[in-house]
Chains A and B, each alone.
Chain A
Amino acid sequence: MEFNQFWSQVTELTQASLKSRYRRTFAGFIWVVLNPLMMFGVQSLVFKTFMRIDVPNYYLFLLGGLLPWIFFSQTIQMGTPIFVAQSHLLRSFKINPMVILASQVLDNFINFIASFLLILLPFYLLSGQNLLPLLLLPLAIVALLIATLGACIIFGTINVFFRDTNFVIGFMFSLLFFMTPIFYPKEYVPERWQWLVELNPLNYLLGPFKIIIHNQGIGFVNSILWSFGVAIAFALIAILVWRKKRNGFYFRL
């Protein structure tokens, strides 16, 4: 299928899903901004005020890691069950399953951009930092988007075979949140535990965001290369998993 046909299907589906959601309640949209804002509020209170993590500009530091983390973890947890949730549709017609998945990712991506504009931008402007590094953000976002889509395909396909995948992933994310330098700087991790950070793919995906938002872009080139490396690895694994499992996928749906 040509890309623009794929894209027109994805956008149409996303529009319809937005429509169907807002038809139910407008609170849905408020929640999109309120949810990350509350997580941010509680975490900055706990880590900055209670535990006194000593990082200058801590609000920006925290937001730079937290917002992409929320996008990645929430999109995967919403994307993983989607093939099974739409199994009737996928079994009934010849429809590209990736359209449905990509539409869910796009839906979450719109929320992510909204939270960026409504939460991060005001803090960034208030901090009086140079605005130029923000121009690098699209690169960091593209890498994160590729990795997220890849991870959704991988876990969504596995979920067709093991229906408790999302349960396991939710559990893994709750562990991973503490093992990823989001609310603490990577430098806090002692030398002999650094390997734990280095093995964590999330560390590489969030890295460029932290550098742009909190570090004025210093060290960006190195970190974005790592980030794209991880993103491409996710994408390749996704293609392999789908190729290997697509027959069984329809069989088990």
Chain B
Amino acid sequence: MDSTLDSEIILKVENVSLHFELEHFQQKDMRDMFISAITHPIDFIFKPQEILMVLDDISFDIKRGMRLGILGINGAGKTTLCRCIAGMMVPQKGKIISQAEIRAIFDTGTGIMPELTGRENARLLARLFFPDVKDLHPLVNEAIEFSELGHFIDIPFKQYSKGMQARLMLSLISARSSDILILDEVLDGADVFFQQKLSVRMHNFIKASGATVFVSHSPEQIRSVCDSVLVINKGKIGFMGEVEQGLEYYHQNLAPNN
């Protein structure tokens, strides 16, 4: 029975390519643009736009129960790929096919209204994360309890340490199972003990239904969370498969002195 569940594909990435127009990089402001349009009108109109390829023809499937680790050096396109899977970005070529409910977290150090308390922020974020849940009270209370923040939950969020913020955010996002959970380099904010606690919760959560996409630079975290690995190398898939082989590929092919 497990094997039929294992083979169920819940998200398909098909020939996805995404580029940015390089003007996006230049920190120009409007007044600069106005001046350059007047002083160099011909350049301004006819200068061809440079293109930066971030994802180049990527295809893979996410199956139910999968715990996929994504590895790659900085700028390889990991976060962009995650944002595409989450539906935040839309690839220029190819498509992502999925009916799955997807939640994504890319950073834990943010509240929505720092002046409000942790509890109020939790409630507000829960509304944003789980728009389909009618009564959020049980969910928010469970997440708060899991976070072990105790009486800190009723002080303003802006007074939280980074670790406390991470505890609250991670407790909240994992409070309800979703089909796919994307965690992009977010475990580093929490302390080791909480990471272990969270890892148990995530394993339960994965058993309950979902798949996890997990981005990290830490081999230990990848080993403890993932059952397969995707290595991105300059916007392409360098390797996809078993964890140890993936880590080996990553270290051999992408090490800085290589």
Checking B106, B115, B182 against A20 with a beta-carbon cut-off of 8 angstroms, the contacting residue is B115
Tell me the chain B residues, 192-219 only, with Cβ under 8 Å from chain A.
Answer: none
Tell me the chain A residues, 10-32 only, with Cβ under 8 Å from chain B.
Answer: 12-13, 16-17, 19-20, 23-24
Checking A92, A162, A165, A247 against B18 with a beta-carbon cut-off of 8 angstroms, the contacting residue is A247
Contact across chains for B115 and A24 when beta carbons are under 8 A apart = yes
A88 and B27 CA atoms in complex are apart in Å by 18
For the complex formed, measure the closest distance between the CB of A89 and the CB atoms of chain B, giving whole angstroms.
5
Contact across chains for A94 and B87 when beta carbons are under 8 A apart = yes
A207 and B66 CA atoms in complex are apart in Å by 59
Contact across chains for B132 and A5 when beta carbons are under 8 A apart = yes
Closest to A161 in B: B24
- Residues A9 and B131 in contact in the complex (CB < 8 Å), given A16-B124, A247-B18, A247-B20: yes
Number of interface residues of B (CB under 8 A): 42
For the complex formed, measure the closest distance between the CB of B158 and the CB atoms of chain A, giving whole angstroms.
11
How many pairs of A and B residues are in contact by the CB < 8 Å rule? 94
For the complex formed, measure the closest distance between the CB of A129 and the CB atoms of chain B, giving whole angstroms.
43
A94 and B131 CA atoms in complex are apart in Å by 12
Tell me the chain A residues, 139-164 only, with Cβ under 8 Å from chain B.
Answer: 161-164
A88 and B104 CA atoms in complex are apart in Å by 14
A231 and B131 CA atoms in complex are apart in Å by 29
A125 interfacial contact with B, CB 8 Å: no
Contact across chains for B24 and A93 when beta carbons are under 8 A apart = no
Contact across chains for B115 and A94 when beta carbons are under 8 A apart = no
B151 interfacial contact with A, CB 8 Å: no
A219 interfacial contact with B, CB 8 Å: no
Contact across chains for B110 and A88 when beta carbons are under 8 A apart = yes
A161 and B106 CA atoms in complex are apart in Å by 21
Tell me the chain B residues, 1-34 only, with Cβ under 8 Å from chain A.
Answer: 18, 20-21, 24, 27-31, 33
A17 and B112 CA atoms in complex are apart in Å by 10
Contact across chains for A92 and B108 when beta carbons are under 8 A apart = yes
Tell me the chain B residues, 59-110 only, with Cβ under 8 Å from chain A.
Answer: 80, 83, 86-90, 92, 102-110
Contact across chains for B29 and A163 when beta carbons are under 8 A apart = yes
A91 interfacial contact with B, CB 8 Å: yes
- Residues A17 and B29 in contact in the complex (CB < 8 Å), given A94-B87, A161-B24: no
A252 and B20 CA atoms in complex are apart in Å by 10
Residues of A within 8 A of B131 (CB): 1, 5-6, 8-9
B179 interfacial contact with A, CB 8 Å: no
Query: Range of interface residues on chain A?
Result: 35 or more
A106 and B201 CA atoms in complex are apart in Å by 38
A99 and B109 CA atoms in complex are apart in Å by 20
B116 interfacial contact with A, CB 8 Å: yes
Closest to A86 in B: B112
When each residue 89-105 of chain A gets 1 if its CB lies under 8 Å from chain B and 0 otherwise, what string results?
10111110001000000
A168 interfacial contact with B, CB 8 Å: yes
A94 and B20 CA atoms in complex are apart in Å by 20
Contact across chains for A12 and B106 when beta carbons are under 8 A apart = no
Contact across chains for A93 and B128 when beta carbons are under 8 A apart = yes
When each residue 134-172 of chain B gets 1 if its CB lies under 8 Å from chain A and 0 otherwise, what string results?
000000000000000000000000000000000001000
B113 interfacial contact with A, CB 8 Å: yes
For the complex formed, measure the closest distance between the CB of B252 and the CB atoms of chain A, giving whole angstroms.
30
A248 interfacial contact with B, CB 8 Å: yes
Contact across chains for A93 and B18 when beta carbons are under 8 A apart = no
Contact across chains for B30 and A16 when beta carbons are under 8 A apart = no
Contact across chains for B24 and A248 when beta carbons are under 8 A apart = yes
For the complex formed, measure the closest distance between the CB of B111 and the CB atoms of chain A, giving whole angstroms.
8
A164 and B33 CA atoms in complex are apart in Å by 11
Most buried by A among B33, B102, B125, B128: B128
Contact across chains for B115 and A162 when beta carbons are under 8 A apart = no
A186 interfacial contact with B, CB 8 Å: no
Residues of B within 8 A of A164 (CB): 29-31
Residues of B within 8 A of A95 (CB): 128-129
Residues of B within 8 A of A16 (CB): 112-113, 116, 120, 124
Q: Can you list 14 A-B pairs, Cβ within 8 angstroms, ordered by A?
A: A8-B131, A9-B127, A12-B127, A13-B128, A16-B113, A17-B113, A20-B115, A24-B115, A94-B87, A94-B104, A162-B29, A163-B29, A168-B30, A252-B24
